[in-house]
Amino acid sequence: NRSFGSIAALVSRDRLAQRLADMAKIGATEKGGVNRQALSREDGLARALLTRWATARGFSVSTDGIGNLYVRREGSDPTLPPVMTGSHLDSQPTGGRYDGVYGVLAGFEVLEALEDAGAVTKHAVEVVAWTNEEGSRFQPYCMGSALFAGKMDLEMVLACTDAKGVSVRDALAETLALAPAMPVRDFGSPAAAYVEAHIEQGPRLEAEGKTIGVVQGIQGSRWFQVEVTGQEAHAGTTPHGARKDAFQTALKMVNALNELMYDPDDVIRCTFGRFEVLPGSPNTVPGKVIFTIDFRHPDAKLVKERGDQVAPLIHSLASPCEVVVKETSTTAPVDFDAGVVDAVREAAEGLGYASRDMPSGANHDAKFMAPRCPTGMIFIPCRDGISHNEVEYASPEHCHAGAAVLAETLARLAG
C-alpha cells in the first residue's frame, strides 16, 4: 500500500550531507580527508556517534564478537529475517570522507526516511557498520563481514596483529570502550537480503554522465605478505658479493612479479602497497624487507592460476636471503543476485536517474554477504574517479540519488 517513490521522496539530501560532514570531523586530516583506521580511537568515536544518532531516533543497536555495529528498525513480522544494508566506518590512513561511511549513512538515511513516513515494513531493516573493511592496518580485510558470513575463524582474527604488534583483540577492546555498551549477538543470524551503497572509486560513471551504477559483481583478489630476511652489514666496507641485502633481493622479486602480472589488456591489478626496509638507515645494508602484494582479476581461473605462481616465484629468487610468504586474504570473484540487481536497476529507472550496469574493481563487504543472502550494490560517481585519497569527493546530489535508490530498493525487499 506504499506507492513507488514515497520513501525516496523523504530521503533528505541535506540531512545526509550534514551527517557525512559530522562523521568527516572524526579523524579529519589537514588535506581534507580522514584517517580513521580500523579499531583506532577515531573508529571508536565514529561508532559512538552513530550509536547516539540511532538511539536518539528510537532504533535499537547491537554488536557482536568482532564489533560489527547493527542499527535496527523493526518490521511488522518478527519471524522474518532483516533486510540489511551498510558498509564501513574505517578508512585508509590517507582516506576520503565517503569510502564506506557513505554506505553506512545512506542506509541510516533510509531508516530515517522510513521512520518519517511512518512506514510499516514486514521485514526489519538493519544498517550495519562492518569492522575493518579496509585491511590497511589489520589483515585480513573485511573481517567483520567475513565473520558474519561464517568465512573466518574468530580466534584467528583476534590474534592478528598490526605492524606495531598490537592484536585485534586488544585494539577491539579499546575501541569498543569508547562507545556505549550494547547487546552482543552471535554471528550468522539470517538475512533476507543485503544491499550496499558506495562511491564508485573509479572514473566510469562520471565520464559517462551517469548517476547510478548497478553493480553486477566484484572481481577476485589475493593478498600476500612477504618477509625477506638478509643480514645487516656496514654499507662502506661490505663487498657486494658478500652481502645478504634484503632490499636487493626484494627488488628482484618485485621485478619478476611485475613480469608475471603484466597484462597487455590492463585488466590485472597488482600493487605493492607496503614496502618496509629495515633498519632504515642509509649506511646499513638492509637486513629485512616486508612488502605486500594486492592482486586482482575478474576471472576466477586466472586469479587461481596466476596467484598460485606468486609464492614459488618469490621462493626461487630468495637466495642469498631467507623468505617467508603468507597469503593474508583470498576471495574469488562474485556475481550478485539477479533479483537484487534488477531491483536496483528498476529503482534507479523509476526515480529517473541515468544508470549503467558495471562490475566493481574494489572489494566490499558485499563480497562476503553474496554467498549468504541475495546481495547487490549501488554505486554513485566520485570526482575524477579518485578514492583512497584525501581529496575524494562525491556531490550531495549524487549522495542523495544513491540513498534514494537504496531507499526504494530496501522498501521493496522489506515488503
Of 145 and 363, which CB lies nearer to ligand GLV in the complex structure?
363
Residue nearest to Mn ion (CB): 100
What's the closest the beta carbon of residue 33 comes to ligand GLV, in angstroms? 14
Question: Which residues lie below 8 Å from residue 145, measured CB to CB, with a gap of 6+?
Answer: 68, 130, 133, 365, 366, 367, 368, 369
Q: State the sign of the Cα–Cα–Cα–Cα dihedral 155, 159, 160, 162.
A: positive
Query: Is the CB of residue 226 less than 8 Å from the CB of residue 291?
Result: yes
Question: Which residues lie below 8 Å from residue 33, measured CB to CB, with a gap of 6+?
Answer: 91, 94, 95, 96, 97, 389, 390, 391, 392
CA angle centred on 372, ends 63 and 6, rounded to 5°: 75
Among 111, 127, 160, 362, the residue binding Mn ion under the rule CB under 5 A is 362
The site partner of 90 among Mn ion, ligand GLV, none (C-beta below 5 to 8 Å per kind) is none
What's the closest the beta carbon of residue 307 comes to Mn ion, in angstroms? 19
The site partner of 200 among ligand GLV, Mn ion, none (C-beta below 5 to 8 Å per kind) is none
Query: Is the CB of residue 102 less than 8 Å from the CB of residue 16?
Result: no
Residue 398 is assigned to a ligand binding site: no
What's the closest the beta carbon of residue 27 comes to ligand GLV, in angstroms? 16
The site partner of 379 among Mn ion, ligand GLV, none (C-beta below 5 to 8 Å per kind) is none
Residue 357 is assigned to a ligand binding site: no
| Residue 96 near Mn ion by CB under 5 A | no
What's the closest the beta carbon of residue 88 comes to ligand GLV, in angstroms? 9
What's the closest the beta carbon of residue 379 comes to ligand GLV, in angstroms? 13
Interactions with ligand GLV, residue window 24-83 (CB under 6 A): none
What's the closest the beta carbon of residue 141 comes to ligand GLV, in angstroms? 6
Residue 388 is assigned to a ligand binding site: yes
Of 140 and 374, which CB lies nearer to ligand GLV in the complex structure?
140
Q: How many residues does the chain have?
A: 415
Give the span between the Cα atoms of 218 and 215, in whole angstroms.
8
Give the closest residue to 330 by CA, choosing from 197, 224, 211: 224
| Residue 134 near ligand GLV by CB under 6 A | yes
Beta bridge mates, 176: none
Residue 88 is assigned to a ligand binding site: yes
Interactions with Mn ion, residue window 99-138 (CB under 5 A): 99-100
Of 23 and 199, which CB lies nearer to ligand GLV in the complex structure?
199
Size of the site for Mn ion (CB under 5 A): 4
Residue 400 is assigned to a ligand binding site: no
Size of the site for ligand GLV (CB under 6 A): 4
What's the closest the beta carbon of residue 297 comes to ligand GLV, in angstroms? 14
Task: Quote the radius of gyration of the chain (alpha carbons, Å).
Answer: 22
Give the span between the Cα atoms of 295 and 221, in whole angstroms.
6
Among 157, 215, 344, 362, the residue binding ligand GLV under the rule CB under 6 A is 362
What's the closest the beta carbon of residue 241 comes to ligand GLV, in angstroms? 41
Q: Which amino acid is at 322?
A: E
Query: Is the CB of residue 142 less than 8 Å from the CB of residue 36?
Result: no
Q: Which residue has the cell 577491539?
A: 172
- Which ranges constitute the DSSP H helices of 261-391? 300-308, 310-316, 338-350, 366-369
Among 219, 363, 375, 409, the residue binding ligand GLV under the rule CB under 6 A is 363
Give the span between the Cα atoms of 341 and 158, in whole angstroms.
34
Give the closest residue to 327 by CA, choosing from 307, 302, 299: 307
Output DSSP code: residue 281: -
> One symbol per residue from 141 to 160: x for binding ligand GLV (CB under 6 A), - otherwise; what is it?
x-------------------
Of 364 and 400, which CB lies nearer to ligand GLV in the complex structure?
364
| Residue 200 near Mn ion by CB under 5 A | no
Give the closest residue to 156 by CA, choosing from 143, 166, 165: 143
The annotated binding site for Zn(2+) is made up of: 88, 99, 134, 198, 388
Residues that bind Mn ion (CB under 5 A): 99-100, 362-363
Residues that bind ligand GLV (CB under 6 A): 134, 141, 362-363
